[in-house]
Amino acid sequence: MHLNAEILERPAQAEAQSPAQAASTMRERAYAPARSEAPSAEVDGSSAARGSESHARSEVPRAEVEAPTSAENSESRARSEVPTSSQQPLIWFDGNFISGDTPEAPLTTHAMHYGTAVFEGIRSYATADGGAAVFRLPEHMERMRKGAQMFGIDFDVERASEATLATLRANGHRDAYIRPLTWMGTGTIGLDVDPLTQHLMIATLAKVVHLGGARTRLTVSPWKRNPATSLPALKLSGAYVNSILAKREAKQRGFDEALFTDDKGYVVECTGANVFMVKNGAITSVDHRDALPGITRDTMIELSGAQSREVTLHELLDADEVFVCGTAAEATAIAVLDRREFGDNPVTRELAALYARVVRGEESRYASWLTPV
């Protein structure tokens, strides 16, 4: 395999904030207005944003933007709490920072009943210069916008991006998993979503959960992937019930992860990752219309020159190496696919190492994929 990357100088990054600086930034930013009133400048701590604080409080139904406690309590909580490792990180919610353990959504929240929400999984990485950067933030936000459009959610990419950076700073997070979620709130319990309120939150977590980088035991799922003709291959929350069923079934049989195949024997994807194989040094990325077009998949293709095409399960079982990739999974080697055991995975290892350098800003030719925090 030839990985076409050179090790060049690291790009300059913004300095990471200390917890004290993060606290000060958080105080500055905790007063951004709620969604329905907000210009896109609301998370940048501008005087315009601060000035519309009272506006947001008086005009937005409080149950939608505040904790069940009073607005004042939630305000002082946001002001006084700098999360430490034992505390919940702050969450950006409709323009305000709230404590991560604050219950916010009413029980009649539409998204809770019907899955009418859209999420993203994004990562930020500590960079060697002491800063941090979000990997391919515009691409993630654009995919989220497409998903939001399906429900008629008015999703402002600029605002969500700024809120993401603000949340990382407020929590002092550098290596983090970022979870934005936009959802349909209250207004009706019916299926017409037009009357519903719309919301956005951004959580940042210091820990990543999916697959965890270890060599993974994979099994073909008896469940089929949602066909794209029924549910678009976007990150619509309700669609993930499909992944959850497959993952659960795989774990019950002693495996780590499930592989979706279609009725014709083609590989689709895993529950939260795309699939690649290596045969005689050639890397192939599985292409399937029902699979999420992953941003990590796109990255791996760019880094390795992999060919993208449809792949049968038979071919996958015959490969020298199989790996899966995603924002959370990065590049994770497959140790076992049902009864097929894979040996060493040098190509996967090399590509994973290159990916690790790219996301941390150690490959300057890919610096445009990084948004400094």
**Rule CB under 6 A: which residues touch ligand PLP?**
121, 243, 269, 272-274, 292, 294-297, 326-327
Q: Is the dihedral of CA 244, 246, 247, 253 positive or negative?
A: positive
- Least distance CB 136 / ligand PLP (angstroms): 8
Which run of H or of E encompasses 141?
A: helix 137-150
User: CA 345 to CA 321: how far, in whole Å?
Assistant: 6
Closest CB to ligand PLP among residues 83, 326:
326
Looking at the Cβ atoms of 89 and 272, the one nearer to ligand PLP is: 272
The structure tokens 């079982």 sit at 317
Q: What is the crossing angle of helices 137-150 and 157-171, to 10°?
A: 130
Closest to ligand PLP by CB, 292 vs 337, is 292
Task: Name the residue nearer to ligand PLP (CB basis): 193 or 324.
Answer: 324
Cα-based distances in Å from 95 to 17, 36, 241, 287, 343: 21, 10, 29, 38, 50
Kindly tell me which of 35 and 140 has the beta carbon lying closer to ligand PLP: 140
Please, what is the minimum distance in Å from the beta carbon of residue 304 to ligand PLP?
Answer: 15
Nearer to ligand PLP, 77 or 146 (CB): 146
Burial per residue of 221-252, b for 16 or more beta-carbon CB atoms within 10 angstroms, e otherwise: bebebbeeeeeebbbbbebbebbeebbeebee
Q: Considering the complex, state which of residue 14 and residue 205 has its C-beta at the smaller distance from ligand PLP.
A: 205
Beta bridge partners of 283: 278
CA neighbor of 351 nearest in space, from 359, 343, 340: 359
Longest distance between any two alpha carbons in the chain, whole Å: 65
10 Å CB burial of residue 320 (0-12, 13-18, 19+) is middle
The number of residues in the chain equals 373
Our CB check for ligand PLP shows the closer of 30 and 234 to be 234
CB of 104 to ligand PLP, least distance (A): 24
Measure CA 292 to chain center: 13
Parallel, antiparallel or unpaired: strands 96-99 and 90-93: antiparallel
Q: In degrees rounded to 5, what are phi and psi of residue 242?
A: -60, -45
Helix (H) or strand (E) holding 218: strand 216-220
